[in-house]
Chains A and B, each alone.
Chain A
Amino acid sequence: AQSVTQLDSHVSVSEGTPVLLRCNYSSSYSPSLFWYVQHPNKGLQLLLKYTSAATLVKGINGFEAEFKKSETSFHLTKPSAHMSDAAEYFCVVSDGNSGYSTLTFGKGTMLLVSP
């Protein structure tokens, strides 16, 4: 069975400082991993995904994530936060174990950005 743990329910940063959102996963197979962002009262938008190619994945809006198999982690980072980054972020795993792909979502991390 696959699972995802987002280690922080809320993260607060100041504008211009680095962002780190932590995610650990569990999967019996080589997984695909995703980060999605949800702005208030909006749908989910893909930020980036890892699919067994390069372990450092670059996404939209300056975000990136590094897949570390030994640590079963896929943490999301950004060098400098912007006010528009304030949103909820979801780490998602998919391993196709059942033959079909099903997504398992983390419970989300709310990113708060102060001026």
Chain B
Amino acid sequence: NAGVTQTPKFQVLKTGQSMTLQCAQDMNHEYMSWYRQDPGMGLRLIHYSVGAGITDQGEVPNGYNVSRSTTEDFPLRLLSAAPSQTSVYFCASSYSISRFSDTQYFGPGTRLTVL
């Protein structure tokens, strides 16, 4: 079991560029989500998915796009990168979205810098 994997680990973009952060899990988890972590802010939810084909917005969705075509993968797309999107991005998954006591498993993170 690889758990939750994220690629790349580091990325530098120029303003206006687009890119996709990859997230995959091999635990057959229903629920996947993306967070961003900024100093002194904790983690904030960007988007989440409760299953293949179903996504919804979190607290800070602007500038980001997601899709979920398979149970395993949940990519996060930055359409036109801005310096305000400089952050560390974490993907997480859990067995069931409706069981709110479920443990979330986090990937190792992607550190993104937008110049």
Mark A residues whose CB is within 8 Å of B.
9, 32, 34, 36, 42-46, 49, 51-52, 90, 94-96, 99-103, 105-108
Q: Interface residue count for B (Cβ, 8 Å)? A: 28
Do residues A101 and B99 form an inter-chain contact, with CB atoms below 8 A?
yes
Residues on B with beta carbons closer than 8 Å to the beta carbon of A100: 48, 50, 56, 97-98, 100
Return chain A residues, CB-CB under 8 Å to B102.
Answer: 101
Cα distance A43–B23 in the bound complex, in angstroms:
14
- Interface pairs (13), CB distance under 8 Å: A43-B109, A49-B103, A90-B43, A94-B100, A96-B98, A100-B48, A100-B56, A101-B94, A102-B58, A103-B45, A105-B43, A106-B42, A107-B40
Least CB separation from B6: chain A residue: A43
| Cβ contact within 8 Å between B31 and A107 | no
Return the chain A residue nearest B108 by Cβ. Answer: A43
CB-based contact B97/A101 at 8 Å: yes
Cα A104 to Cα B106 in complex, Å, equals 15
For B44, what are the chain A residues with a Cβ–Cβ distance below 8 Å?
Answer: 105
